[in-house]
Structure 1
Amino acid sequence: MGARKRRLRLDDQLCFALYAATNAVVRAYRPLLGELGLTYPQYLVMLALWQDGAAPAHTLAARLQLGASAITPLVDRLEAAGLVTRARGTDRRVVLVALTEAGRRLEEKVAVAQQAVVCRTGLEEDSLAALRQELKALADRIAGSGSVPQDETV
């Protein structure tokens, strides 16, 4: 008797569980950020700038794990909204992105929205921190391995 072929099931897929959870989190953020004039990807750019300070556009792209071409339209819209500025450094190829005063002031309002989403997770702070750490470690393992073994369900 040959090996029984394993059927793929959506409910058994880690990738689907992550996809569904990500969509739920982004949907929770969307109306709150919308009231503040931000999309979720713009929010991520602002988070990086609030945390790390002014940075070259290519550094922001790397920090957010985006392609260099993906960061430009995000920064364009943030600049049009008066939240960031762009300036070329001594190396004309490098565009430095920095917060404006309005961009710095927005952090307090966004913190309220972020806390509302955290509350919706129903997780205590230690559980939330453990989940974040495990997801970061998972991403690092997958990125570092280069491929997923054929016999694992992901």
Structure 2
Amino acid sequence: MTTTDPLALDAQVCFSLYSGERAVGAAYRELLAPLGLTYPQYLVMLALWEDDDQPVSALGRRLGLDSGTLSPLLKRLESAGRLTRSRSDDDERVVRVQLTGSGAALRADAVTIPTELASRMRLTAAEATELHRLLGKICGRDA
């Protein structure tokens, strides 16, 4: 639909982002269910697969989550046997997060998720790269 009305719903970038987020979220729910992960838990696991054994504070900064949001996620993942939390030997005020064997092994089951998601989004590799770049720019992560 093409319109010259600047307030038309379909002309709003925010509505496209909102609709896209809902579609991507639904696809992730379906893809992550067999792994027993929610999307926020998946983000934690991605960060730990990239850099295991890190302080909770660093993990929170990396994910943009405060401790009130991150702590329950970590508790559920710990209860599921995916990670452990322990006090640092150097500074007992620092809590470190480490993957368990089960959590590390889950990576092999998750490795196809990005490809499957891209397929569901019906974007070419170039379109996905451009979308990623533009969203990074919106979020202030452009170089």
Give the TM interval when normalised to the shorter protein.
0.7 to 0.9
Q: How much is the aligned-residue C-alpha RMSD, in angstroms?
A: 1.6
Higher normalized contact order (CA 8 Å, seq sep 6+, divided by chain length): 1
**Match in the other structure for 1:144:** none
SS of corresponding position for 1:44: helix
In structure 2, C-alpha distance between the alignment counterparts of 1:47 and 1:88, rounded to whole Å: 22
CA displacement at 1:7 relative to structure 2:
6.6
Aligned AA (2:77): L
In structure 2, C-alpha distance between the alignment counterparts of 1:62 and 1:118, rounded to whole Å: 27
Alignment of 1:98-117 (within 5 A): 98-117=98-117
**Match in the other structure for 1:125:** 125
Alignment of 1:69-88 (within 5 A): 69-88=68-87
- Consecutive unaligned residues in structure 2, runs of 5 or more: none
**Match in the other structure for 2:31:** 32
- Consecutive unaligned residues in structure 1, runs of 5 or more: 1-5, 142-154
Question: Identity of counterpart residues, as a percentage?
Answer: 44
Aligned AA (1:23): R
CA displacement at 1:53 relative to structure 2:
2.2
CA displacement at 1:121 relative to structure 2:
1.3
Q: How many pairs align?
A: 136
With 103-112 and 121-130 compared, the bigger mean Cα shift is at 121-130
In structure 2, C-alpha distance between the alignment counterparts of 1:130 and 1:13, rounded to whole Å: 19
- Structure 1 or 2, whichever has the larger Rg, is 1
In structure 1, C-alpha distance between the alignment counterparts of 2:93 and 2:123, rounded to whole Å: 44
In structure 2, C-alpha distance between the alignment counterparts of 1:7 and 1:113, rounded to whole Å: 37
